[in-house]
Amino acid sequence: MKGGINGTRHLQQRPSETFVRYAARRAIAERELLWNLLLRDLRSRYRRSTIGWLWSMINPAVMTAIYTFVFTVFFHVKPAPGIPSGMTAYAFYLLGGLLPWNALVNGVTGASAALVGGGGLMAKVRFAREHLVFATVLAMSTTLLAELSVLALMELIGGYVVLQLLPIVLLLVLLLTMFIAGVSLVVAALNLRYRDVQHLMSIGFLVWFYLTPVIYPVGLIPEKFSIGGATLPLRTILGMNPMSRFVLAFRNCFFDVTLPGIGTMVGLVAISFTTFSVGYRFFIRRAPWFVEEL
């Protein structure tokens, strides 16, 4: 029997089917919708500006200029030279972490806004609600790829060739996309229901930003940290931050110009699949009632 609305009503999760596979099956069933939402996002974002896509490059460029100035002139922070690249430029060091970080922040905030903005659509049309979130996150990943290409180009001008790492960079972007999607699904669903989530979000990202070695080298974190007589293995604790691992892996590619270790990659696969599954489960359990919460 043919399924219901848009052929997706029969898309119930099969027993023993993982959330990742289930999400993929639903995305494939509505691939046209997802593709068009993604196009809408990309097309409309810079439609009314004269320099268009260049806008997405300006924010990282300005942030790089500021941080480079503050950290190299005021604080004299010097990242340890990349191994084996020997790269020392703080700008490259920073961008390797800042670009994935921006993708996370823009993805999560954008997805939350997209779900609220898609309210009218959800009230009128039946479709898999998560695709509003996915379209935004995928748009951010597309932007990230464009920005990374520019970074690679700048490094090429500086004499460093990173093109051979393209397959691993694509894999990293894919895993990061899954991770961002997982976080976005939870935050976007909560944001629809509770009005203070957007405020908590900006505070949360601020704290998370400084817990992630984006602007400072990991070497600056003390190994041990004593507080009230207790000694904490600070570097190990901060190392558990999933975003740190992504940042370090991207930095392997764009600063050290080498492959991330196999342990790192296995860890990232585990992080992204787990985050995605938890987020997806959280989201689709609540999705049937989104219309009523608006």
Partner 1 sequence: MSAIKCRDAGKVFRRFSERNQTLKQVVARRRRAVFTEHWAVRDLTLEIAEGETFGIIGGNGAGKSTTLKLLAGILVPDEGSVQVTGRVSALLELGAGFHPELSGRENVFLNGAILGMSRKTLLTRFDDIVGFAGLEESIDEPVKTYSSGMFARLGFAVAVNVDPDILLLDEVLAVGDEVFQRRCGEKVAELRSSGKTVVIVSHGLQELRKMCRTIAWIDHGTVKAVGPSIDVVNEYLESTRDQQRISSDGLVHTGTGIVTTFVRTHPEVVVQDGSAEFEFTIDCAEAIVEPRLGFTIRSSDGTPVVGHTMPLPTLAVGTHRSTYRMGRIPLTPGHYEIATWFGDRNGVELDSCLTASGFEVKPPSGGSHDFGLLTLGGTWETT
Residues that bind partner 1 (CB under 8 A): 1-7, 9, 30, 32-33, 35-37, 39-40, 43-44, 47-48, 120-127, 190, 194-197, 200, 288-289, 291-292
Nearer to partner 1, 37 or 99 (CB): 37
CB of 173 to partner 1, least distance (A): 25
CB 293 within 8 A of CB 192: yes
CB of 27 to partner 1, least distance (A): 13
Token pair belonging to 21 = 């596979």
Nearer to partner 1, 210 or 289 (CB): 289
* Count of CB atoms situated within 10 Å of the CB of 232: 12
CB of 195 to partner 1, least distance (A): 5
CB 289 within 8 A of CB 196: no
CB 134 within 8 A of CB 27: yes
CA nearest to 182, candidates 119, 246, 237, 125: 246
**207 Cβ neighbours under 8 A, 6+ residues apart:** none
CB of 103 to partner 1, least distance (A): 23
Q: In which residue are the tokens 């080498």 written?
A: 258
Angle at 13 between CA 114 and CA 37, to 5 degrees: 25
Work out the widest C-alpha separation in the chain, in whole angstroms: 69
CB of 289 to partner 1, least distance (A): 8
CB of 183 to partner 1, least distance (A): 16
Nearer to partner 1, 36 or 226 (CB): 36
CB of 85 to partner 1, least distance (A): 43
CB of 20 to partner 1, least distance (A): 23
Instruction: Write phi, then psi, for 129 (nearest 5 degrees).
Output: -60, -30
Nearer to partner 1, 37 or 249 (CB): 37
Nearer to partner 1, 196 or 223 (CB): 196
The Cα–Cα gap between 184 and 276 comes to 9
Nearer to partner 1, 98 or 187 (CB): 187
Token pair belonging to 111 = 């997805």
Nearer to partner 1, 7 or 219 (CB): 7
Question: Rounded to 5, what percent of the chain is helix, strand, coil?
Answer: 75, 0, 25
Alpha carbon 164 to chain centroid distance? 23
